[in-house]
Amino acid sequence: MAKTSKVPEATIKRLSIYMRVLKDLEKRGTEVVSSADLAEICNINPAQIRKDLTYFGEFGVRGVGYYVKELHFDIRKVLGLNQRRNVVLIGVGNLGKALLCYRNFSEHGYEFVAAFDSDASKIGEKTPCGIIVRDIKDLPAVAKEFSVDIAIITTSAQGAQEAATAAAAAGVRGILNFAPVHLSVPKEMKVKKVDLTTEFDNLAYHLQPG
């Protein structure tokens, strides 16, 4: 069950989908799910699911399917989700406020410990979810105190590199970047860029006349 470096990115993304579906099934009390049913709920073909799970030595039980609780636990472990992670947000505009209040994050083990901005007029402001906006200068101290793993960057395009540099200097290891720019960071740091237009494109494809 150890992390191997050979697992493709696309598999990691699908594991995240399987995990959500299995969580729902577990909540509803389902004990076993057939590979065909799991495939249908996930909208992914059964062969792909089987292939993805073999990366982690999970093969299901022939003629039965997968044990929901067990598989859910194993996937969470593979994804490194059996621990809570402390998160900070940099750039408290509308998107920043929305993410700070996004309850799903906390349900999945991500905890916002602070929000930062470099705009003096915003510092001290209380966001809709009760988090006080702090000066970006306080980031190193906060990152150290709470062992912050991840910074979410929701600044403007102009402010994003400065935010990333500050996060790197403060010892943060991962960035989720919502700003529409490429960030330069030390090579040991992980950056995920989130582009919401990708979701639109997928929908647009399916709206084309067959």
How many whole angstroms from its chain centre is CA 149?
12
Q: What is the dihedral of CA 112, 118, 119, 123, to 10 degrees?
A: 50
φ, ψ at 115 (rounded to 5°): -130, 140
- Please, what is the minimum distance in Å from the beta carbon of residue 53 to a copy of itself? 15
- Please, what is the minimum distance in Å from the beta carbon of residue 26 to a copy of itself? 16
- Please, what is the minimum distance in Å from the beta carbon of residue 64 to a copy of itself? 26
Using CA atoms, how far apart are residues 146 and 100, in angstroms rounded to an integer? 17
Q: Residue 53 or 62: which CB sits closer to a copy of itself?
A: 53
- Please, what is the minimum distance in Å from the beta carbon of residue 133 to a copy of itself? 14
Do residues 143 and 112 touch, judged by C-beta distance below 8 A? no
Residues that bind a copy of itself (CB under 8 A): 3, 5, 8-10, 12-17, 19-20, 43-45, 78-81, 85, 93-95, 97-99, 101-105, 108, 110, 128, 149-150, 173-176, 180, 190, 192, 194-210
List CB contacts of 25: < 8 A, sequence separation 6 or more. 33, 41, 68, 72
Q: Residue 7 or 32: which CB sits closer to a copy of itself?
A: 7
Q: Residue 80 or 137: which CB sits closer to a copy of itself?
A: 80
